[in-house]
Amino acid sequence: MKVRSKLADIDFLFGKFQYKKDHLIVHSDPGQSMESKVYVSPDDIVAALGCALTNPMVWVYFLGFPFFLVRYRRRHRRKRQTK
């Protein structure tokens, strides 16, 4: 997952997941140069699902996901072959 902001551009690779005090904690992969933790509360999940389910572009992405996945992997395979 790529995270872009004014502060930094980070390739976030998922590491371990942990549950603590009603929060889901997502740790970055230990091999990454910048260690990160993402704290997700139950309210965060409800808000994200509410936003996602009412946004038509999310539904388009879900319905087209198999196509997008194949296209994405083909592009990246070609990039690796040309290097």
Per-residue pLDDT tens digits for 23-60:
999 999 888 877 888 999 999 999 999 999 999 999 99
Q: With contact defined as beta carbons under 8 Å apart, do 26 and 1 qualify?
A: no
Quickly tell me which residue has 């872009």 as its tokens: 4
Q: Which domain holds residue 11?
A: 2-82
Distance from C-alpha of 72 to C-alpha of 49, rounded to nearest angstrom: 25
Number of structural domains in the chain: 1
pLDDT value of position 20:
94
- The Cβ of residue 79 has, within 10 Å, a number of other Cβ atoms equal to 9
Distance from C-alpha of 16 to C-alpha of 80, rounded to nearest angstrom: 28
pTM value surpassing 0.75? no
Reference 25, options 10, 13, 11, 15; nearest CA is 15
